[in-house]
Structure 1
Amino acid sequence: MKKLALMTLASLLLVSTPILNAGEAAQNSKQYKVSGLEKPAEILVDRWGIPHIYAGSKDDAFFVQGFNAARDRLWQIDLWRMRGLGKLSEVMGPEYVEQDKATRLFLYRGDMEKEWKSYGPNAKEIVNSFVSGINAYVEMTNKNPDLLPPEFKMLGYKPSKWEPEDVVKIRSHGLTRNVNSEVARALTLRDHGAEAEKLRQGLQPKWETSVPKGLDLNVIPEDVLKTYALATQGVSFDKYSGKLQTENLTDRIHDASSLGSNNWVIAPKKSKTGRPILANDPHRTLAVPSLRYMAHLSAPGMNVIGGGEPVLPGISIGHNGTAAFGLTIFAIDQEDLYVYETNPNNPSQYKYNGGWENMNQVSETIAVKGKSDEKKDLEFTRHGPVIYKDEKNNRAFALRAAWLEPGMAPYLGSLAYMGAENWNDFSKAMNNWGSPSENQVFADTKGNIGWKPGGLTPVRNNWDGLLPVPGDGSYEWDGFLNQENMPSEFNPKKGWLGSANQMNLPANYKYKLGFEWSAPYRYQRIEEVLNKMKKVGIEDSLRLQTDYSSIPGRKITALLDGIKTKDKKLKEGLKLLQKWDGNLSADSAAGALFEVWYQNHLRKAVVQQILPKDAADDIGSGDPVVILNILEKPDKRFGTAPKKVRDQILLSSLKNAIAQVEGLLGSRMKDWKWGDLHHVYLEHQLSPLVDEKTRKILNVGPVPRGGSGDTVGATSYSRSNFRQTSGATYRMVLDVGKWDNSIAVNSPGQSGDPESKHYDDLFKKWANDEAIPLLYSREKIEQATEERIILLPGQ
C-alpha cells in the first residue's frame, strides 16, 4: 500500500481565536443552535480545560457531555468506535481486515433489553442522549469541515455518526483477564515443568494448581491467542507498512501487570481537615490524548464532577456533592479458554456431552477502502467466540469471558453509583457492577468511609480457572457469585482504607475469585506512610500519590550489608547502593543503578541459577515477589551453601549492571541520574506517518521521570529503553464536603486536538507531580472560566 500523502500539521491547523483571560471570558463566547437539545445549556471551560456543563435536565446534560466530548476528543472517540466495531478497514485499507474480523468476534451479541436494564432504569435514555450530542457535533463538522481536528484531514476521511448500541456492543477495549496467563502457564508447565511455573508466576492466596482432567497440554498452539490479541490491542498505524503486528505473549502479560491503580480514603478523625479525604490515581497506558477526561455535569437532580472515559456518559471517578468514589483493579478471574475436539469430517462441529454440536456461524461483511467488500465467517461455540482452529489435529479453541455477558460494557456501570447519596446506595449499585472488576473506595459528607469491590465472578465448582479446560461439558460455569458475598469494610477503627491491586481478600475468605494479583509493594508503602501519620491532609495525599520510595529497592540493598569485593568498580557500586535510601528520584544515581540491576540482571540471574537455560530464557525475569522471597530466604534451590551462592549472584549481576549503565551514562557514577534513563515521551498514534517537524507538534516530551512500577508514584517502563509506558494519567484528591479544595490533573491535557492550548498544557504539572484545582461551586468556576459555550435548541 502506498503511504498516505500527508501535509504537515502546521499547514492543517485552523486559524483560532486567542484564548482570553478569565476576566475577559465574556468576550470569548460561542453560541450554537443544535438539534436534539430541549433547553438552553452552557459549557464553562475553565483555564485548565475542564468543561463545566450546566443544563436544564439530566437528558440535556448527557447530550451536552456527548457534544463536548466530540468537541474536545472527536478523532479519539471516532477511532475508538471504528476499532471497537471492526470498521478500521473501511477507512484505512486492507491491512486492517484481520483486526476487524478479530474485533467483531468480541462484540456483544446478546439480549439488548437485558443489556440496557443491567445499567439501571434510565441507562438507554442516558446513552441515547450522549450519542445524540456526539452526532450533533459531527453534523456541525459536516457543515463546517474547519471544525475537524487535523487527523481527519491527514487520513482523508470524515467522522461517522453513532448509534446508542455502539456504546454497549463494544467490549474489546476493557481491561481483560486472565486468558493470557492461562496459556502462558499451560505452555510453561508443558515445556519446563512446575518448578519453572512457580518462578514465572506466584499465586495468591497460596495455591497449588493441577492440570484439569482431560486436558492435553501438547495440543495448545504457541499462537493460540493471536486473534484475541488482535481484537484487544490498540490501533497501530505501523500497519501502513503492510505488516500485521501483534504483541507476543510475554509482552502482553508484562503490559497487563504494569497496569494498576492506587486509592485510599481517610476518615475525619485521621484527616487534617476534619472531613474525609479520598485519593485516587488510576494507572493506564500513557497516551496522547489521555485515556481519561475530566468533566462536570450539573442539572436538576445531578451535580457530578471528576474523571471518566471520553466515550461514555457520566463520571466513574469523582463526587456528586454528597458522596465521593474512586477505583482500582480488583483481580477477579473473568476468562477461560476452552479446548475442543472437532469432527474430522466437519471442523465446524465440536464434541460436547458425547455428541457433535454445531458451531454457530455469523457472516460479516467488512468494507475495505479501495477494495471490494470482504465476507468473513465468524464461529461461536456455546462458550463463546472461536479464536483458533487446528484442523490438522482436530482441535478448536474458544474464549468464555464474563465481559461478554449482559451489563459488562466497561465502566458504564458507573451510571448506577454516581448518584449514590450514602453507603447503602453505593453498595447496592456496586452489587451490579460488571467490568472491569474494581476496588471502590467511598466517602460521604456525613463522615463515612468504605471499601467495596465489585465485578462479575464466574463460579467454577470443579476447577480453579488457572489453566485451559476441555470444552466437552466437563467444566462449566455454575452461574455467577452473588455480589453481596463480596468482602467490604465500613468505617474501620484505623481511620483509613485503601487498595493498590494487591491481594486483599480477607483471611479464610471462602470464594475463589482469582489468584493473580499485583505485587504488594505499592500498598505496603501506602500503609507504611498512612499508619505513621497521625493526621493526613490534601497535600499529604498528593505527595503520597507521587512517592518514589521503592520497597524492593530497600529490601534488596539491605542484602548488600557486609558484602565485600576487591573489584574497584564493583566496590564503588556497592557503596553507592549501601548508602541509598530507596528513593527512585529522577536525579538519583543509585536509583539508576538499582533499576538496571534489578530489572535487567538480578532477577534473571536468580532464574538462571535455578533453571536450565532453555527454561530460564523463556521465564525471563520471573515473578518479582517470588524472586525477592528467594533472595531474602535463599534455600536448597541455590545448592548446599545457599547464602554464599545468593551473595555471588548479587555481586556478579551487579557487575553486569554497572557495565550496562556505564555504556548508557558514562563511567562517572556520581553523574548518573535515573531520569537520564527513565523518561516519558507521549507519541501520537499518527506519529509513524508524519515528518519530523509534524512529529514535534503531535508528540509530547520527553522529560525525565522518577519512580518505577513498584512505587506508589507508579511509572512502569519498557526494560529495553526505560521509557515510561503506563502510570497515573489521572490523579485526584477530594476534600469531601469542601469540594473547591479538591485537586486533580489529567495528562497531558484535556483536548485531543493538537491545535488546542489544552492539548498538552497540563503535561508539565503532571510530570512535576503537581495538580490543579478541581472546582465545583459555580462562583469559583465563573472566576476561572476562560471560554463560554452557549447551546440553544434549534436546527
Structure 2
Amino acid sequence: MTETPAPHETRYEVPGLEAPVEILVDRWGVPHLYAASRHDLFLAQGFNAARDRLFQLDLWRRRGLGLLAEVFGAEYVEHDRAARLFLYRGDMAEEWAAYGPGTEEMTRAFVAGINAYVALCEAEPGLAPPEFGLLGYAPARWSAEDVPRIRSHGLSYNLQDEVARARTLRDFGPEAEELRKVREPGPHALRVPEGLDLSLIPDDVLRVYELATVAPWAAGSAGPAPRQGLDGSNNWVLAPSRTATGRPLLANDPHRPVSLPSLRYLAHLSAPGLDVIGAGEPALPGISIGHNGRVAFGLTIFPVDQEDLYVYRTRPDAPRAYAYGDGWEEMETVTESIPVRGGPPAEAELCFTRHGPVVRELPEKRAAFAVRAAWLGPGMAPYLGSAGYMGAESADAFTDAMRRWGAPGENQIYATPDGTIGWRPAGRVPVRPNWDGTLPVPGDGRYEWAGFHGPDALPAERAPERGWIATANEMNLPPGYPNDTRTVTYDWYAPTRYDRVAEVLSARDDWTAEGCVRLQSDYVSLPARAALPLLAGLTSDDPRVLTALGLLRDGGWDASLDADSAAAALFEVWYRGHLRPALLREALRPLVPGDRLAEAVARVLPPEAASADARVDLRLFPLATPELLAATLGEAVAAVERLLGPDPAAWAWGTLHRAHLRHPLADKLAEAGDVPWTALGPVPRGGSGDTVGATPYLPDPDFRQTGGASFRMVVDVGAWDSSLVMNSPGQSGDPRSPHHADHFADWAADRAFPLAYTRERVERETTARLLLAPAEGQDRGGPARRRT
C-alpha cells in the first residue's frame, strides 16, 4: 500500500458551532466528520459540502427555486416559471412534521453550515469555485425551507408513460401500443377512462413539466432536453451462507446520468449516537446509502405511480374556470416576479387547479391540463426521508423508519452483523378507486385519489431460504399481490438486469466484496444471448453478412459487451439500429397505413438513451425471417465499417462507446475563458443499458455513455473497513482540488477503493485535517474565518 503523506491542517472559525468539529479527509477525498453533537455535525456537513461542491449546490438551488434567469439572463425565464410551478407550496409545519423528529433541526444546521462557507467566500473571494468568477456572479445564501420546497430533482413516475400511451392510442390504436411498452403484471387490458377525449391532448402537453424536471443545460441550451441515461439501479444483499467470510454483503449501484461533478457525495458523519458513512446528494443533509455500524442499507427505484395528468373542460367565456362536479371552479392564480440579469424582472403567472399545477392551456379547444403528483405533498421531498433511518440500530428499527418514507418509491435492502438480510419497498402509493393510472383522466371530479395505501400494504421479505435478495427496478410484486385493487404501477423496468444478477448470485456461495464489485460491472447482455440463436443456420453469399456471422455466431462470442470486443460493437449497432426497427416495422405493417409506417415505428421505438427493454423485441423474434436477418446484418456491418473502418480485427465496442463527462455549463464557461477542466475523457466503456454494468448511450451522434453508476458501494457487514466504494469522477466539484477527477480512470476501469470507517483506519488514511471551531467574539450569523 502506498504510504499516506502527513496530513495538511487547516483551521476555520465557524459561527453557529457549539464545540469544535474535526474533519479528516482521507486519500480518496472522503471526509470523516467528528462532532460532539448532532447540531454541530450537520452544520459541519453543510460547511464541508459547500467546501467541496459550492457551485453545484448553488446551481441546484437556483434551478429548483426558479432563479436561473437572475444570473444567466432572460433565456431562462421560461424554465424558472416551470420550476416555480412544481415547488412545495403547503404548510411548512406540516411538512417538517411529516419526516419525523429531528429533520427540521438537522436541515437548519446543514443550511447554516452552507451559509457559513458562503460568507467565508465573500470574505475571501479566492476560495469560491472558479465558475463564479468566470460567470460573473456570487453564491447565494440559503433558507432551510429551500431544501424541502425543491421537489424537481427527484425521480418521478409515470406521467410520461401516461402521455406516450395516450398519444399512441390516439394515433395508431391499442395494437400499436402493445408494441411500445410492456405492462406488468399482465396481461392487463387498457381501458380509456370514461369521458377522456384523447384528441384533446397535445403532443407538447408535458413541455412545462419537462422544463421543471430535466436540467435545462443538458443540451447546452435553455430549453428542455430529453431525459438521458437510465434512472434505475441494482442492489443485492447476501446472507452469511452465501459468502466466503460468513458475514453478510450488501451491494448497491444507483444509475443516474453520469456527470461532472458526480451526483453523489460520500461522507462519514460521527457524533454521540450516530456513526453513519455512505453517500447522499450533496445538497441534502444526512446519508441515504451506506451503513451506520449496525445496519447497512441500499436503495433502487421501486417505480410507484405517483403522478396523473388531469384533462379539464374549460368555460368558453372564462378559460380559467374548469368543469368540476355540477359546476365550475376557478383556477388559483399566483403572480411572481422573476429577477432577470441585464433586464427588468419578468412577471410569471402560475395557475393551479385543485389537483395541481396547470402545465398547458388550450382555450381554443376549451381544454386545460394539470399534473397531480404525490411528491408535491407534505413529507415528499426526495430522499429527505433518509434522516429517519440512517441512525437505525436494528433491522426492525430500519423497517419501522421506512413507514414514513414518501418519495421516490424505493426498494430498500438492509443487512445487520447478526446475519439478518431483508427487503422493504417504500413510497406513498395513491389509492385510485376507479381507474388504474395508466392513462390521463378527466378532471371533473369522477377520478379522485382516495388517500394513500398504508405502508404495510406493500410486500416485504426477510431472511429468504435462498440466501440472497436482489432488486433492479423489475416487477417484483410477489404472486398473488392484488395490483388490480392495490395498484403500485403497471410501468416497470425490464427484468434483464435482475435476471442476470439472479443467475450469477445463485450460482455461488463464496461471495466476497471484490466479487460483488465485479458483478456490478458485468457486461453480459441477455438480449444478445437471446438473439444469437436467430443466426443458427443462416447462410448468405454477401461478404458483409459472412463477416457478421463470423463475429457473432462462429467466433465463440459469449454475449459480453466488453470494451475491447469487435462482436459487441457489431451486435449493438445491429440490434438497436437495424434489427429492432425492422421487427417493429414488420409488426406494424398490418396495423397502420403505409404512408404512416415510418411515423408509427418512430413512435413505438424506445428512447435510445434508455432503451433497456428487450421484451417487445423477444416477442417479435418469430418475424425475423432469413431475409430480414441477412438484410439487417449487412446494413449493420456497413454502418460499423463507416464508423470504425473496413477491418473487423480493428473494431472494438469501447472505440465507439465512451464516457465523456462535461460540466453542465461547459459552453457558457468556454465563452469566458480557457476552461479545460469542464470535460473529462473520452474513455472506452463496455456494457449497454441492458447489462448489470449499465452504460446506456445515445448512438447519435457518438455512442456517448449518458447514464449508469457513477457511485458504487459494497458493504462488508460487520468488517466495515473491508467495504469498497467508487464515486466518479471525484469527491470535489472544484477543479483546483486534487479530488476533482482522481477516481475517473479507476471508475472507467471498473475498480473500487476502500471505504474506511473505524477511527484507527481513518487516521491511517488521512491526508488533510480540517479543524472547525466556534467563532469567538462574533454573532452566530457572522462570517467564518480561515486559519491555515
Task: Tell me if 1:784 matches 2:765.
Answer: yes
1:80 aligns with 60
Task: Tell me if 1:296 matches 2:261.
Answer: no
Q: Partners in 2 of 1:335 and 1:658 — Cα distance?
A: 43
Alpha-carbon shift at residue 629 of structure 1 (Å):
2.5
- The one-letter code of the counterpart of 1:617 is A
Q: Partners in 2 of 1:151 and 1:280 — Cα distance?
A: 32
What is the SS of the residue equivalent to 1:594? helix
Task: Tell me if 1:590 matches 2:567.
Answer: yes
Aligned pair partner of 1:246 in 214, 220, 224: 224
1:450 aligns with 422
Task: Tell me if 1:724 matches 2:705.
Answer: yes
Contact 1:604 / 1:621 at 8 angstroms: preserved in 2? no
Q: Partners in 2 of 1:380 and 1:738 — Cα distance?
A: 53
1:535 aligns with 510
Q: Partners in 2 of 1:159 and 1:186 — Cα distance?
A: 43
Q: Deviations over 1:590-617 (max 9, x none)?
A: 0000001111111110111121413123
Q: Partners in 2 of 1:44 and 1:38 — Cα distance?
A: 19
- The one-letter code of the counterpart of 1:24 is A
1:699 aligns with 679
Task: Tell me if 1:773 matches 2:754.
Answer: yes
Aligned pair partner of 1:616 in 601, 626, 636: 601
2:550 aligns with 575
Alpha-carbon shift at residue 648 of structure 1 (Å):
2.6
1:655 aligns with 634
Aligned pair partner of 1:565 in 535, 540, 556: 540
2:496 aligns with 521
2:618 aligns with 629
Distance 1:647 1:481, change over 3 A: farther
2:279 aligns with 307
1:601 aligns with 578
Q: Partners in 2 of 1:21 and 1:566 — Cα distance?
A: 62
Alpha-carbon shift at residue 646 of structure 1 (Å):
3.1
Q: Deviations over 1:619-669 (max 9, x none)?
A: 23587333332244x2xxx5xxxxxx5333222111111110010001111
Q: Deviations over 1:287-315 (max 9, x none)?
A: 00000000000011100000101001100
What is the SS of the residue equivalent to 1:22? coil
Q: Partners in 1 of 2:669 and 2:400 — Cα distance?
A: 50
Aligned pair partner of 1:485 in 435, 454, 457: 457
Task: Tell me if 1:120 matches 2:100.
Answer: yes
Q: Partners in 2 of 1:517 and 1:333 — Cα distance?
A: 10
- The one-letter code of the counterpart of 2:297 is F
1:5 aligns with none
What is the SS of the residue equivalent to 1:559? helix
- The one-letter code of the counterpart of 2:31 is P
Q: Partners in 1 of 2:606 and 2:470 — Cα distance?
A: 29
What is the SS of the residue equivalent to 1:377? strand
Q: Partners in 1 of 2:37 and 2:97 — Cα distance?
A: 21
- The one-letter code of the counterpart of 1:773 is P
1:680 aligns with 659
- The one-letter code of the counterpart of 2:603 is D
- Superposition RMSD in Å: 1.5
What is the SS of the residue equivalent to 2:715? strand
What stretches of structure 1 of length at least 5 have no aligned partner? Answer: 1-19, 639-644
What is the SS of the residue equivalent to 1:476? coil
Contact 1:89 / 1:97 at 8 angstroms: preserved in 2? yes
What is the SS of the residue equivalent to 1:480? coil
Alpha-carbon shift at residue 216 of structure 1 (Å):
0.5
- The one-letter code of the counterpart of 2:637 is I
Alpha-carbon shift at residue 431 of structure 1 (Å):
1.4
1:737 aligns with 718
Distance 1:23 1:671, change over 3 A: closer
TM-score normalised to structure 2 length? 0.94
Contact 1:238 / 1:688 at 8 angstroms: preserved in 2? no
Contact 1:23 / 1:783 at 8 angstroms: preserved in 2? no
2:210 aligns with 229
Q: Partners in 1 of 2:407 and 2:382 — Cα distance?
A: 5
Q: Deviations over 1:141-161 (max 9, x none)?
A: 111101000000011011111
What is the SS of the residue equivalent to 2:535? coil
2:185 aligns with 205
- The one-letter code of the counterpart of 2:53 is R
What is the SS of the residue equivalent to 2:530? helix
Q: Partners in 2 of 1:628 and 1:81 — Cα distance?
A: 41
Q: Deviations over 1:469-504 (max 9, x none)?
A: 000000001110101111100000000001011111
Q: Partners in 2 of 1:691 and 1:178 — Cα distance?
A: 37
Pick which of 693-702 and 179-188 moved more: 693-702
Distance 1:550 1:187, change over 3 A: same
Contact 1:286 / 1:726 at 8 angstroms: preserved in 2? yes
- The one-letter code of the counterpart of 1:425 is A
What is the SS of the residue equivalent to 1:318? strand
Aligned pair partner of 1:746 in 727, 748, 755: 727
TM-score normalised to structure 1 length? 0.93
Contact 1:265 / 1:449 at 8 angstroms: preserved in 2? yes
1:133 aligns with 113
What is the SS of the residue equivalent to 1:311? coil
1:9 aligns with none
Contact 1:631 / 1:646 at 8 angstroms: preserved in 2? no
Contact 2:79 / 2:216 at 8 angstroms: preserved in 1? no
2:235 aligns with 263
Contact 2:578 / 2:636 at 8 angstroms: preserved in 1? yes
Q: Deviations over 1:171-214 (max 9, x none)?
A: 01111111111111111100011111111111011111111100
Q: Deviations over 1:384-408 (max 9, x none)?
A: 0001100111111000001001111
Distance 1:780 1:650, change over 3 A: same
1:323 aligns with 295
Aligned pair partner of 2:251 in 263, 279, 285: 279
Task: Tell me if 1:429 matches 2:411.
Answer: no
Q: Partners in 2 of 1:472 and 1:786 — Cα distance?
A: 63
1:4 aligns with none
Q: Deviations over 1:690-737 (max 9, x none)?
A: 449834322111100001111111111112121000000100001101
1:45 aligns with 25
Task: Tell me if 1:667 matches 2:646.
Answer: yes
Q: Partners in 2 of 1:782 and 1:74 — Cα distance?
A: 26
Q: Partners in 1 of 2:630 and 2:177 — Cα distance?
A: 26
What is the SS of the residue equivalent to 1:503? coil
Q: Partners in 1 of 2:454 and 2:192 — Cα distance?
A: 28
What stretches of structure 2 of length at least 5 have no aligned partner? Answer: 779-788
Q: Residues 18-57 of structure 1: matches in 2 within 5 Å?
A: 22-25=4-7, 28-57=8-37
Q: Partners in 1 of 2:544 and 2:340 — Cα distance?
A: 60
- The one-letter code of the counterpart of 1:565 is S
2:141 aligns with 161
Q: Partners in 2 of 1:235 and 1:199 — Cα distance?
A: 31
Q: Partners in 2 of 1:761 and 1:233 — Cα distance?
A: 28
Q: Partners in 2 of 1:551 and 1:196 — Cα distance?
A: 25
Contact 2:135 / 2:669 at 8 angstroms: preserved in 1? no
What is the SS of the residue equivalent to 1:776? coil
- The one-letter code of the counterpart of 1:684 is H
